[in-house]
């Protein structure tokens, strides 16, 4: 009897698929803000930086910055610029599975600001392009509400490249809210001289007051590889 076209289950299986092992559901994460969320509805720009090296460009000890809230479990901190109506959010080394929950916690801040500018670093090995790839490639994603894109003259992120994690959630939320949102993706591997220069040019364009550090220590110039 032919079994063509039929689904025949073997009597015994030695190879198990991923879905064969049913694991008990883990408890829902209970991320919470350290302090009560108090929203300033006059926020002009909310800066969000996510990735290695980027915090080196920000003087977090600046007298202009005041830590207003944080989620220690995911290394997320929000600072307020005392002199300007701007907020700065720094984040790195978090579990991507928690992205949706983190974006939901950020929702009150993101809904109340006029502009959102995100900077995210991604390894250059993940960048997909048919053209010559430089040591540092910067691409942009813009929500439909952004009408003036001349401030950041970076090409739009090409397919099949995508962004993920909190950055993707933030830009998607701003699109749903029909509000301004810009995501700048920096594909890079190490902070060599060329890449530091490119990132410095990018931070020069950000109106963050005096909290921007024009130079950083180059880790490549250390004695690690002597």
Residue pLDDT, tens place only, 9-58? 555 555 555 555 544 444 566 899 999 888 777 889 999 999 877 877 88
The residue among 10 and 220 whose pLDDT is bigger is: 10
- Rounded CA-CA distance 92/51 in Å is 5
CATH architecture of the domain formed by 39-209 = 3-Layer(aba) Sandwich (3.40)
From residue 58, alpha-carbon distances to 80, 89, 213 in Å are 13, 11, 6
Nearest to 191 by CA among 89, 57, 35, 7: 57
> Are the C-beta atoms of 51 and 122 separated by less than 8 Å?
yes
Burial string for 108-130 (b: 16+ CB within 10 Å, else e) reads ebbeebebbbbbbbbebeebeee
Distance of CA 33 to the CA centre of its chain: 19
Average pLDDT of the chain to the nearest whole number: 81
> Are the C-beta atoms of 188 and 124 separated by less than 8 Å?
yes
Residue pLDDT, tens place only, 162-217? 999 999 999 999 999 999 999 999 998 765 566 778 888 888 888 787 788 876 55
For the cut 70, the answer to whether the pLDDT of residue 143 exceeds it is yes
List all residues 6 or more positions away from 192 whose beta carbon is below 8 Å from its beta carbon: 135, 218, 220
Residue pLDDT, tens place only, 45-60? 999 999 877 877 888 8
- Rounded CA-CA distance 171/8 in Å is 47
Supply the DSSP symbol for 211: G
The residue among 89 and 208 whose pLDDT is bigger is: 89
pTM exceeds 0.75 for this model:
yes
What is the average per-residue pLDDT within 135-162? 86
| Every domain of the chain and the residues it spans | 39-209
């Amino acid at each position: 009897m032919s079994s063509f076209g039929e689904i025949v289950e073997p009597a015994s299986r030695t190879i198990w698929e991923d879905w064969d092992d049913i694991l008990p559901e883990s408890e829902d994460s209970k991320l919470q803000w350290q302090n009560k969320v108090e929203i300033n509805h006059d926020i002009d720009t909310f800066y969000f930086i996510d990735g290695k090296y980027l915090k080196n460009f920000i003087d977090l000890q600046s007298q202009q910055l005041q830590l207003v809230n944080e989620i220690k479990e995911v290394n997320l901190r929000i600072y307020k610029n005392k002199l300007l109506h701007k907020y700065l959010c720094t984040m790195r080394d978090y579990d991507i599975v928690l992205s949706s929950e983190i974006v939901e916690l950020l929702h009150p801040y993101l809904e109340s600001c006029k502009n959102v500018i995100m900077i995210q670093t991604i390894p250059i090995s993940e960048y997909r392009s048919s053209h010559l790839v430089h040591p540092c490639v910067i691409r942009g994603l813009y929500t439909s509400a952004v009408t003036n894109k001349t401030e950041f003259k970076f090409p739009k992120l090409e397919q099949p490249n995508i962004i993920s994690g909190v950055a993707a959630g933030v830009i998607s939320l701003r699109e749903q809210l029909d509000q301004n949102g810009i995501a700048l993706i920096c594909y890079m591997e190490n902070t060599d001289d060329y890449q530091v220069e490119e990132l410095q040019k990018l931070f020069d364009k950000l109106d963050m007051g005096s909290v921007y550090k024009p130079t950083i220590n180059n880790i490549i110039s250390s004695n690690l590889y002597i």
